[in-house]
Amino acid sequence: MTEADMLDTELLDEEELEEKRTFNYDPEKINIVTKEPTIDILLRRIDEKTLNLAFDFSRKAGIWNIEAKSRLIESILIRIPLPAFYIDATNEEEWLVVDGLQRLSTLKQFVIDKSFNLTGLEYLIELEGKTYDQLERRYQRRIEETQVIVYLIAKGTPIEVKYNIFKRINTGGIPLSNQELRHALNPGQATKFLEKLANIKEFTRLVKLGESRKKR
């Protein structure tokens, strides 16, 4: 283990200890509301940029291939219920996806962006190779009108609770680091600026950031 890696581990341990000390909140303040919107409503929010998919924090190891995306669309078309979504709705003007990023990203890419053709279908093989625009209207409507379960982390929920929920739910793929969780819950301009700095060679040489610290 290099000196930089040892320093990273020490910093991470300190962060986790500090979080354990400061995460002292009243469970009664947890306010999660259950909704059953249609996929069309969620896609409209995405298109209007009032539902933030936070792509910067998706993990490459967890990115779905075309077949996985196509199977999701097929599941909707044959009426298989989707797992619930968790969304941070504490900011009414901009919701943030906590759990369900890949599913919502896939729906956006298929319905709005029209960026892939259905591939590797198991049941609806007659739809193989089709884009959203090439589907019969009855299939398009089935996607649009499908209701999903969404758990909204409502306004008034303390930031510590929101962070804890995010960390507990974020179990798929490679877990996000503590710093990435903070970025994901606070996707502002300052965060984006610091990310750009961390990827500039001259800057990284100057501050000598370790590779694992750049990722955080």
β-bridge mates for residue 152, sequence order: 33, 87
Taking the C-alpha atoms of 190, 192, 197 and 201 in order, what is their torsion angle to the nearest 10 degrees?
A: 180
**pLDDT of 164:** 75
> Rounded CA gap, 83 and 199, in Å?
36
Asked if 210 and 2 touch (Cβ cutoff 8 Å), the reply is: yes
Instruction: Write out pLDDT tens, residues 75-93.
Output: 999 999 999 999 999 888 8
pTM value surpassing 0.85: no
Query: What is the pLDDT averaged over residues 182-204?
Result: 56
**pLDDT of 20:** 52
**pLDDT of 8:** 46
* H-helix segments, 23-100: 39-47, 66-77
DSSP 127: G
**Average pLDDT value over all residues in the chain:** 78
For residue 108, pLDDT over 80 is answered with yes
> Rounded CA gap, 35 and 123, in Å?
30
Kindly provide the residue ranges of all beta strands, DSSP E only, lying in the chain, ordered along the sequence.
32-35, 51-52, 85-88, 95-99, 150-153
* H-helix segments, 48-100: 66-77
> Rounded CA gap, 85 and 51, in Å?
12
For residue 5, pLDDT over 80 is answered with no
**Beta-strand relationship, 85-88 and 150-153:** parallel
Tokens 């209701």 belong to which residue? 147
Give the pLDDT band (50/70/90) at residue 180: low
